[in-house]
């Protein structure tokens, strides 16, 4: 769950709805790439029937949450009025009265809204896993499992499990986690939150391509193989923490294993955000082939020739297309050893539509497929033609 609680998480639907409205029909997608050839059948025979079953439950769950909220307000209003009368009218205790009223509303309706959030997470999990299947990818929401939490007693029973699911084990000790790329050594003392599920976070952090923060959250992990090379993508949210916590990064982290090791080390970022000395070390500034791209991006590398080859106009256009599709900005990344690692600031992605709209809508599926296709285009564009040939 993100900062601001469940209500913000399930209520901020304008951008999600816009993405769904602009989605392409499945019949059109089916002709665009081989992986989409069977998507109409998958929707009609598998996904739509399952969403139809969940639609009835969605209506019942939201209706109950709304009615319980109204009940909470009806209980809270007399309590607020009574407190103000007993305390001599509005004054110093006026904000306290409203705070107690909000607690009453949350206590009466909170667990019902928790079920709405859980349904949203389960629906997204179903749609994204189905969308990943034609590509052979794996998807995981990374959300805590809220099923079975019906009251304060069940919440208390699972409180430790849920706290670790949200914030991670606060041991401060080094530990290993298994990822698609092998075991990764991580610690939990440098930022509160679960260990990163991909190497991208630590690589970008070590290169000073992520802003300073003390709290981190991850969701929507997508990983797999494309043209014989491994990749992983995850959404990240980084906060400063403390009383006046601010979000300093929210976006996508992408890690791709390259077919061969790079001879040099190359860092790139949108101009105006990243300057020399911020992780560049002894690297030299690179002048890109395209003047327009050279003005738009700042690039430093230990191998000028390799950097220009990697960041050719056609490949940079793939990066810009990804940035444009996700309405993102401040694109940055590095090419080092045998990997390409990118960060792109963007609002919530891979959301599969609002829980307050009918579930049986093929545009939910279409949006997820299009987003995954764009990631594939990025990977394909950066791999060498010789490597890709015969592997797709």
Please, what is the average pLDDT of the chain?
82
| pLDDT exceeds cutoff 60 at 171 | no
Residue 68 has a pLDDT of: 94
pLDDT bracket for residue 18 (50, 70, 90): low
More confident site: 282 or 185: 282
The mean-pLDDT minimum among 9-23, 100-114, 213-227, 364-378 falls in: 9-23
Query: Residue 332: CB partners within 8 Å, gap ≥ 6?
Result: 204, 209, 267, 268, 269, 270, 273, 274, 342, 343
Predicted pLDDT of residue 352: 81
Tell me, what's the pLDDT at 277?
Answer: 47
Q: Give the pLDDT score at 64.
A: 95
CA atoms within 13 A on the CB side of 260: 10
CB proximity list for 148: less than 8 A, separation 6 or greater:
154, 158
pLDDT at site 342: 92
Chain segment 363-378, per-residue pLDDT in tens: 999 999 998 988 888 8
Residue 21 burial (CB < 10 Å; 0-12/13-18/19+)? exposed
Q: What is the DSSP letter of 158?
A: T
Which two structure tokens, joined as six digits, stand for 135? 């590509």
Look at residues 310, 246, 298, 293 and name the one whose alpha carbon lies nearest to residue 268: 298
pTM score over 0.75: yes
Give the model's pLDDT for residue 387: 46
Predicted pLDDT at 192: 67
Q: Give yes or no for residue 140 having a pLDDT over 90.
A: yes
Strand order in the sheet with 297-301: 138-140, 215-226, 229-239, 247-257, 339-345, 329-336, 266-270, 297-301, 284-285
Q: Do 152 and 392 meet the contact criterion of CB atoms below 8 Å apart?
A: no
Task: Using pLDDT thresholds of 50, 70 and 90, give the confidence band for residue 3.
Answer: very low
Residue 291's pLDDT is 84
pLDDT over 70 (residue 59): yes
pLDDT at 392: 47
Region of poorest pLDDT, from 72-76, 114-118, 334-338, 383-387: 383-387
Whether the per-residue pLDDT at 9 is higher than 60: the answer is no
């Amino acid at each position: 769950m993100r900062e601001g609680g469940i209500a913000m998480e399930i209520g901020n639907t304008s951008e999600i709805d816009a993405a769904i409205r602009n989605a392409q029909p499945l019949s059109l997608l089916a002709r665009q790439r081989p992986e989409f050839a069977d998507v109409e059948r998958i929707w009609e025979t598998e996904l739509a029937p399952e969403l139809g079953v969940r639609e009835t439950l969605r209506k019942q769950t939201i209706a109950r949450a709304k009615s319980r909220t109204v009940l909470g307000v009806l209980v809270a209003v007399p309590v607020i009025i009574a407190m103000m009368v007993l305390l001599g009218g509005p004054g110093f205790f006026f904000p306290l009265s409203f705070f107690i009223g909000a607690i009453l509303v949350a206590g009466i309706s909170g667990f019902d809204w928790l079920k709405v959030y859980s349904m949203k997470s389960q629906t997204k999990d179903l749609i994204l896993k189905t969308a990943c299947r034609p590509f052979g990818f794996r998807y995981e929401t990374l959300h805590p499992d809220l099923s079975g939490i019906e009251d304060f007693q069940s919440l208390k029973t699972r409180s430790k499990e849920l706290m670790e699911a949200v914030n991670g084990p606060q041991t401060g000790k080094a530990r290993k986690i298994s990822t698609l790329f092998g075991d990764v050594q991580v610690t939990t003392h440098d930022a509160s939150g679960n260990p990163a599920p991909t190497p991208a976070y630590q690589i970008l952090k070590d290169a000073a391509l992520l802003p300073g923060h003390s709290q981190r959250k991850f969701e929507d992990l997508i990983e797999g193989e494309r043209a014989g090379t491994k990749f992983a993508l995850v959404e990240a949210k980084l906060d400063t923490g403390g009383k006046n916590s601010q979000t300093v990064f929210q976006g996508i982290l992408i890690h791709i294993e390259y077919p061969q090791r790079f001879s040099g080390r190359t860092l790139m970022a949108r101009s105006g955000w990243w300057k020399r000395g911020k992780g560049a070390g002894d690297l030299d500034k690179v002048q890109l082939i395209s003047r327009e791209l050279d003005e738009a991006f700042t690039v430093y590398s230990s191998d000028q020739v390799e950097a220009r080859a990697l960041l050719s106009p056609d490949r940079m256009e793939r990066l810009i297309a990804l940035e444009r599709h996700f309405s993102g900005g401040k694109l940055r990344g590095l090419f080092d050893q045998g990997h390409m690692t990118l960060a792109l600031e963007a609002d919530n992605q891979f959301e599969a539509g609002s829980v307050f709209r009918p579930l049986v809508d093929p545009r939910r599926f279409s949006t997820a497929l299009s987003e995954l296709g764009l990631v594939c285009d990025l990977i394909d564009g950066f791999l060498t033609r010789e490597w890709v040939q015969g592997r797709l």
